[in-house]
Amino acid sequence: MKQAVVVIHGMGEQIPMETLVSFVDATWTTDESLVDRGKPDPDTGARRRRNASWSKPDRRNRSFELRVITTETGKNRKRTDFYEFYWAHHMVDTTWAHVRGWLLELMLRNPFTRVPPRLMSVWILLWAVAAGALALATLQLGAGDGNESSWRGAMLVAAVTAAIGWLTGFLVRYFGDVARYVKAKPANVARRQEIREEGVQLLETLMGVRSDSRKGKSEYDRIVVVGHSLGSIVAYDILTHAFARIHDIADKSGAVPEEQPARLRLEDAIRRAAGMATVAPPRGEDGGSRSADVETRPVPPEGLPLSWSIEEFQEMQAQALGELNRTGNPWIVSDFVTLGSPLTHAEFLLARDRARLAEAKRQRQLPSCPPTLEYDRSTRLHHFTYRPDSLRRIGDSHDPEAPRVPHHAALFAYTRWSNIYSPSRFVAWGDIISGPLGSIFGLESSGGTVKGIRDIAVLPALDEAGKRIEGERRPFFTHTGYWKLGRVGSPLPRHIARLREALRLGD
């Protein structure tokens, strides 16, 4: 079997394959741990200096601009295929009108209730830039009233015009994609649909569930999806819709094992972390339940963590995915890796405020990690799974161990999410676009938010207390540096090591 990595680029006028080539260089070509160093170079037969890969035509992306980069066999006896999901061509012809309305909506928010503290400096900066642009325009008008014959007036008019033109062009070029993608306005809906539909088609093709897939089954046993910048929002949407469509297949097939120990362990761990009952109350003689007997914090069964641990959670996710695949379910996206993700500002970009974001997760419009649980009157417990009609014939519906299938927003019961970000300072140092995601997309509970996303701080790295590790510096504008290699011969940069760990290409 092989594994696939799908890389989704960020905002701006991206060139096809440019992102993928540099990404493969950082995560495969230069990683000496992936291939036996004693093997000769497959191209030259001489001593190897790099891991080999080749560019091949890519029929899955349905674009002659794109190619798949395939690798030699690694120590794990697997080959890796790297794909780029390219979507920038859907965002051409962006105008100032697309950006202006979005910026005004962000600027006119109540700063005390609807602007997150981490974005307050950006909100103030937006107003400062707007005030500066207004002042420049006023100077331009003043210079044009009586100084046309003066070379100083002419120079001022030219400088002001150039400054306003540059600022407008910069905002359109780099934030036009964001404005058009995150807002479901009539002018944007078609573009959003095209991007998501093509992304879902690519995943379905790789998973072998489309009619045009090779032999009707997947070549891969594992898929990793990587999203950078705005591409992480695109990736999140694609995964959301792809899992919902796979859910429909599983719902109707009834191909579920009668025993699901991995699912049981995972649901029990999430219930305990969320402070929910993990043992159903006993039924009364009339079939009702005696709520006074509910045990909300029982001693955990052997093998489960006493306290919530993201490492333990991700291991249980991997076990649950293996169990799901053994039933024939085609969902094989084992990992989702976000780099410099603006999803950290979801309450600012995707919702009206934090309360609306929490409601969207509860309504399963936005999948959370861990997944949202729903109460089952039959088992009297909370689950991320349910009993479809196709399984009524198997097991007792009152028994939580009876076979069940995941609901449409339970993808992060099976897909591990690692988020790599760069802590920011004074807007320009680090990456103000990125940030932690665990508390934003975690499971809301009465005791707080249960975090299931592995947040990894780089550039600079932070210790467990959230302090900058000694010797780590905060570079200027790191948003495009998450897979940037250091100088040849220099020690491996910490951010490259963390990225390789998140991808797990050698597993």
* 30-40 tens-digit pLDDT: 999 999 999 99
**Percent of the chain at pLDDT exceeding 70:** 87
Helices and strands of the chain, counted as H and E runs = 11, 14
pLDDT of 147 > 60? The answer is no
pLDDT number for residue 168: 74
pLDDT number for residue 159: 72
pLDDT number for residue 294: 37
Backbone angles phi, psi at 192, to 5 degrees: -60, -40
pLDDT number for residue 206: 94
147's tokens: 């100084």
Supply the pTM of this predicted model: 0.89
pLDDT band, very low/low/confident/very high, at 12 (cuts 50, 70, 90): confident
Q: What is the pLDDT of residues 64-93, one digit of tens each?
A: 899 999 999 999 999 999 999 999 999 887
pLDDT number for residue 311: 95
pLDDT number for residue 447: 77
pLDDT number for residue 200: 96
pLDDT number for residue 286: 40
As a whole number, mean pLDDT of residues 211-233 equals: 85
Q: What is the pLDDT of residues 397-454, one digit of tens each?
A: 888 888 888 999 999 999 999 999 999 988 889 999 999 999 999 999 887 899 999 9
Cβ-Cβ contacts under 8 Å for 80 (sequence gap 6 or more): 2, 3, 4, 5, 28, 70, 71, 74, 505
pLDDT number for residue 51: 95
Q: How many Å is the maximal CA-CA distance in the chain?
A: 99
pLDDT of 199 > 90? The answer is yes
Neighbours of 387 (CB within 10 A): 19
Q: What is the pLDDT of residues 14-60, one digit of tens each?
A: 999 999 999 999 999 999 999 999 999 998 889 999 999 999 998 88
Cα(442)–Cα(374) distance, integer angstroms: 15
Report residue 317 CA to chain centroid gap.
16
pLDDT band, very low/low/confident/very high, at 144 (cuts 50, 70, 90): low
Q: What is the pLDDT of residues 160-197, one digit of tens each?
A: 667 667 767 777 777 888 888 988 888 889 999 999 99
As a whole number, mean pLDDT of residues 144-155 equals: 58
Mean pLDDT of the chain, nearest integer: 86
User: What are the CA-CA distances from residue 382 to residues 79, 271, 361 (Å)?
Assistant: 40, 7, 16
pLDDT band, very low/low/confident/very high, at 101 (cuts 50, 70, 90): confident
Cα(335)–Cα(419) distance, integer angstroms: 11
pLDDT of 121 > 70? The answer is yes
Cβ-Cβ contacts under 8 Å for 41 (sequence gap 6 or more): 47, 48, 49, 50, 52
* Amino acid code (one letter) for 19: T
pLDDT number for residue 215: 54
- DSSP H or E stretch at residue 405: strand 405-406
pLDDT number for residue 364: 95
Q: What is the pLDDT of residues 344-387, one digit of tens each?
A: 999 988 988 889 999 999 999 999 999 999 999 999 999 999 98
pLDDT of 146 > 60? The answer is no
pLDDT number for residue 247: 80
pLDDT band, very low/low/confident/very high, at 307 (cuts 50, 70, 90): low
272's tokens: 């305990």
pLDDT of 94 > 90? The answer is no
